[in-house]
């Protein structure tokens, strides 16, 4: 399997190279040249397969030439060592809980798989590697935890100062060791721009080995597709064609779902649910993509005004918006809607949603519009990560899991930095010496 750039100007590469480079040299994002077709027997047998077996079979079709079976199996069983249960919320509505990893958010899935692939590939080359990543909240902690203590790898995390929750900040700024956090005086889009500029900087590349670890790395996208199959397995009906709602920001999660659908996974269509950063629903409606400045919301991990993975979605559909509309609906919701959903779902069912998952729920309910098809929405963060909003709407503080409580008492060790590129470059060059 070869990987190609969405810009079409860089040569095709192996899975290994796509993961190690992060971004293609022409500024595009790597995608598999074609999405593999999985055999009907795989889909028929899904309900009988374990989470790890499903992940292994899917991963193999993408990585066979670069990861020997025993290594792939080890990476999967280490990285995906937590469950992803499907629960019934009511009637035909199900929630897929993606937040049982160490940082309580779905990005653990991608970050843990990718970090182990990178550790394996760079271990073979014996070179020191710097991972540069921009985060709007959850990527940072997932990547930091994924690489913590991994030899030969330094992680530098850029985040918008004052724009991530206290809990999120504590999760990636208190670790020390090979993890450095830079608090950027700006927005998440500024952080992303800085990272993109660094990757395009040839002088920097000559002085150090840089790789990305945010959602643009194909090594993160791929494992995120595994749980779409696992949701189907847990519905226990190989013929069920669920509607699947994905709370989206940078659109990596949705891209992974689309890839799963293109391999043959039975499903009806996706709902791309956003907060008021609604460039995608606008794009799907008008066919014109207009990036916008980020607007802060209570679902802040989805505050993205210029989603990178749109390039991949366009690639998958040959840039045909009409085709996209057959496979996706998209809606946006305000903070008020989000709060009302947390309140309503809790009072009517007892189920506690975090603000991101609430947007997934809202998107599903709106798309189904009383249709009785099975519907699955993805819960991307544990409610305890957004405990204040959740408590205001449910009247009760969510239970704080042990691993979250532990880091709350630690001291923040981030370095403040401006949003100009030269300052970041000087920092990286000094660090690389
Ligand atoms: C990152 C994140 C999202 C958005 O996922 P994308 O792949 O960027 O669309 C949604 N919810 C939570 C909790 C997140 O951390």
**Ligand 1 atom nearest 249 alpha carbon:** 9
DSSP state letter for 174: S
Residue given tokens 């949705």 in the structure block: 254
pLDDT, residue 298, reads 96
Average pLDDT over residues 419-430: 95
Q: Is the pLDDT of residue 143 over 80?
A: yes
Q: What is the DSSP-derived secondary structure letter of residue 335?
A: H
Picking from 282, 326, 374, 366, the residue whose alpha carbon sits closest to that of residue 94 is 374
In tens, the pLDDT along 180-204 reads 999 999 999 999 999 999 989 999 9
| pLDDT tens-place string over residues 18-73 | 998 888 999 999 999 999 999 999 999 999 999 999 999 999 999 999 999 999 99
Contact 43, 238 (CB under 8 A): yes
What average pLDDT does this structure show over 228-237? 93
The rounded distance, in Å, linking the Cα atoms of 427 and 420 is 12
Test site for ligand 1: of 189, 250, 280, most ligand atoms within 8 A of the Cβ: 250
Phi-psi region of 64 (alpha: psi -120 to 50; beta: other; left: phi over 0): alpha
What is the number of domains present in the chain?
A: 1
Rounded Cα–Cα distance for residues 332 and 421 (Å): 33
Residue 212 has pLDDT above 80, yes or no: no
The number of angstroms, rounded, from the C-alpha of 343 to the middle of its chain's C-alpha atoms is: 26
Asked if the structure places residue 376 within a domain, the reply is yes
Q: Whose CA is nearest to atom 8 of ligand 1?
A: 250
- Measured CA to CA in angstroms, residue 117 lies from 63, 79, 120, 261, 405 at distances of 10, 10, 5, 24, 29
Q: Is the pLDDT confidence value at 282 over 90?
A: yes
**Could you read off the pLDDT of 324-350 as tens digits, one per residue?**
999 999 999 999 999 999 999 999 999
Distance from Cα 46 to the centre of ligand 1, integer Å: 26
Ligand 1 atom at minimal distance to the Cα of residue 246: 9
Q: Whose CA is nearest to atom 2 of ligand 1?
A: 301
Residue to substitute in 380, 386, 404 for testing ligand 1 pocket (most ligand atoms within 8 angstroms of CB): 380
Instruction: Please give the number of the atom of ligand 1 that sits closest to the Cα of 385.
Output: 13
- Mean pLDDT, residues 81-89 taken together: 96
Minimal-distance CA residue to ligand 1 atom 15: 138
Please give the number of the atom of ligand 1 that sits closest to the Cα of 136: 1
What does the alpha-carbon distance between residue 165 and residue 170 come to, in Å, rounded to a whole number? 9
Q: What is the mean pLDDT of residues 266-288?
A: 97
Q: What are phi and psi of 56, to 5 degrees?
A: -65, -50
* Selected residue with higher pLDDT from 104 and 127: 104
Pocket-forming residues, ligand 1, beta carbon under 6 Å: 105, 107, 137-138, 215, 247-253, 301-302, 356, 380-381
Identify the pLDDT of residue 238: 76
Of residues 16 and 138, more confidently modeled: 16
Q: Check the CA dihedral 251-300-106-232 and report its sign.
A: negative
Ligand 1 center from residue 139 Cα (angstroms): 8
| Residue 23 forms part of a structural domain | no
Q: Can you tell me the distance from the alpha carbon of 358 to that of 33, in angstroms, rounded to the nearest whole number?
A: 35
pLDDT of residue 216: 86
Strands 243-247 and 3-5: unpaired
Question: Is 80 exceeded by the pLDDT of residue 87?
Answer: yes
pLDDT value of residue 12: 98
Q: What is the DSSP string of 360-387?
A: HHHHHHHHHTT--S-EEEEE-B-GGGGH
Strand 375-379 relative to strand 93-97, pairing: parallel
| 25 CA distance to ligand 1 middle (Å) | 26
Residue 215 has pLDDT above 70, yes or no: no
Residue from 2, 87, 107, 196 carrying the catalytic annotation = 107
What is the reported pTM?
A: 0.89
The encoded tokens of residue 46 equal 């899904």
DSSP result, 109-129: HHHHHHHHHHHHHHHHHT--E
Q: Is 107 a catalytic residue?
A: yes
Establish if 413 belongs to a structural domain.
no
What was the pLDDT predicted at 237?
Answer: 83
Task: Tell me if 303 is assigned to some domain.
Answer: yes
Atom of ligand 1 nearest to the CA of 255: 7
What is residue 136's predicted lDDT score, i.e. its pLDDT?
A: 80
| 54 in any annotated domain | no
How many whole angstroms separate alpha carbon 169 and alpha carbon 183?
10
Q: Is the pLDDT of residue 74 over 80?
A: yes
Q: How many residues does the chain have?
A: 433
What residues have CB less than 8 Å from 200, skipping those under 6 apart?
Answer: 27
Q: Which domain CATH number covers 386?
A: 3.40.50.1100
What per-residue confidence (pLDDT) applies to 122? Answer: 83
Within-domain flag for 213: no
Query: Contact at 8 Å (CB) between 234 and 66?
Result: no
CA distance linking residue 188 with residue 379, whole number of Å:
22
Averaged confidence pLDDT in the chain: 93
State the distance from the centre of ligand 1 to the C-alpha of 202, rounded, in angstroms.
30
Report the distance separating Cα 23 and Cα 264, nearest Å: 27
Q: What is the DSSP string of 44-99?
A: HHGGGS-HHHHHHHHHHHHHTTTS-HHHHHHHHHHHT-S---EEEEETTEEEEE--
Strand pairing of 3-5 and 30-32?
A: antiparallel
How remote is the CA of residue 340 from the centroid of ligand 1, in Å? 20
Task: List the domain range (segments joined by +) for residue 100.
Answer: 69-107+221-402
Cα 130 to Cα 140: distance, rounded to the nearest angstrom: 14
- pLDDT tens, 358-368? 999 999 999 99
pLDDT at 287 over 70: yes
Ligand 1 geometric centre to CA of 403 (Å)? 20
Give the C-alpha distances (Å, rounded to integers) separating 358 from 165, 274, 337, 374, 393. Answer: 17, 10, 9, 18, 12
Distance of CA 194 to the CA centre of its chain: 19
Q: How confident is the model at residue 389 (pLDDT cuts 50, 70, 90)?
A: very high
Question: Is 38 within the bounds of a domain?
Answer: no
Query: Which residue among 98, 103, 138 has the greatest number of ligand 1 atoms within 8 angstroms of its CB, and so is best to mutate?
Result: 138
Q: Are 386 and 338 in contact (CB under 8 A)?
A: no
The Cα–Cα gap between 210 and 128 comes to 9
Determine the atom of ligand 1 nearest the C-alpha atom of 138. Answer: 15
396 lies in some domain = yes
Other beta carbons less than 10 A from residue 359's beta carbon = 33
pLDDT beyond 70 at 214: no
**pLDDT 10s digits, 238-260:** 788 999 999 999 999 999 999 99
Lowest mean pLDDT among 198-202, 305-309, 390-394, 429-433: 429-433
pLDDT tens by residue, 394-422: 999 998 888 888 888 899 999 999 999 99
DSSP structural state of residue 46: G
Taking CA atoms only, the protein residue closest to ligand 1 atom 1 is: 301
Model confidence pLDDT, tens digit, residues 162-171: 998 888 899 8
């Amino acid at each position: 399997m070869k990987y190609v750039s969405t810009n079409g100007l860089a040569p095709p590469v192996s899975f290994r190279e796509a993961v190690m480079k992060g971004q293609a040299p022409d500024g595009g994002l790597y995608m598999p040249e074609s999405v593999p077709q999985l055999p009907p027997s795989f889909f028929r047998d899904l309900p009988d397969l374990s989470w790890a077996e499903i992940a292994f079979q899917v991963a193999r079709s993408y990585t066979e030439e670069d990861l020997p079976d025993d290594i792939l199996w080890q990476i999967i069983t280490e990285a995906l060592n937590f469950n992803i249960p499907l629960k019934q919320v009511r009637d035909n509505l199900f929630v897929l809980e993606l937040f049982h990893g160490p940082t309580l958010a779905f990005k653990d899935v991608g970050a843990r798989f990718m970090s182990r692939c990178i550790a394996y590939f760079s271990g073979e080359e014996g070179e020191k590697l710097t991972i540069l990543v921009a985060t709007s909240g959850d990527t940072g902690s997932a990547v930091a935890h994924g690489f913590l203590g991994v030899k030969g790898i330094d992680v530098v995390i850029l985040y918008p100062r004052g724009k991530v929750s206290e809990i999120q900040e504590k999760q990636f700024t208190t670790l020390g060791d090979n993890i450095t956090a830079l608090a950027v005086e700006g927005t998440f889009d500024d952080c992303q721009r800085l990272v993109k500029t660094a990757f395009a900087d040839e002088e920097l590349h000559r002085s150090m080995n840089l790789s990305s670890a945010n959602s643009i790395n194909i090594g993160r996208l791929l494992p995120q597709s595994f749980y779409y199959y696992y949701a189907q397995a847990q519905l226990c009906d190989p013929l069920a064609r669920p509607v699947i709602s994905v709370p989206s920001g940078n659109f990596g999660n949705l891209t992974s779902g689309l890839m799963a659908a293109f391999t043959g996974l039975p499903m009806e269509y996706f709902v791309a649910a956003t907060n008021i950063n609604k460039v995608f629903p606008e794009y799907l409606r008008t066919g014109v993509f207009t990036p916008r400045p980020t607007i802060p919301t209570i679902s802040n991990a989805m505050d993205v005004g210029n989603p990178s993975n749109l390039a991949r979605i366009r690639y998958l559909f040959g840039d045909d918006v009409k085709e996209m509309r057959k496979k996706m609906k998209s809606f946006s919701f305000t903070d008020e809607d989000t709060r009302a959903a947390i309140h309503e779902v809790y009072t009517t069912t007892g189920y506690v949603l975090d603000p991101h998952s609430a947007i997934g729920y809202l998107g599903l309910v709106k798309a189904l519009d009383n249709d009785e098809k099975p519907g699955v929405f993805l819960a991307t963060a544990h409610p305890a990560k957004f405990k204040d909003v959740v408590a205001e709407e449910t009247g009760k503080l969510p239970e704080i899991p042990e691993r979250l409580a532990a880091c709350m008492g630690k001291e923040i060790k981030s370095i403040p930095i401006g949003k100009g590129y030269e300052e970041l470059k000087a920092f990286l060059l000094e660090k690389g010496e």
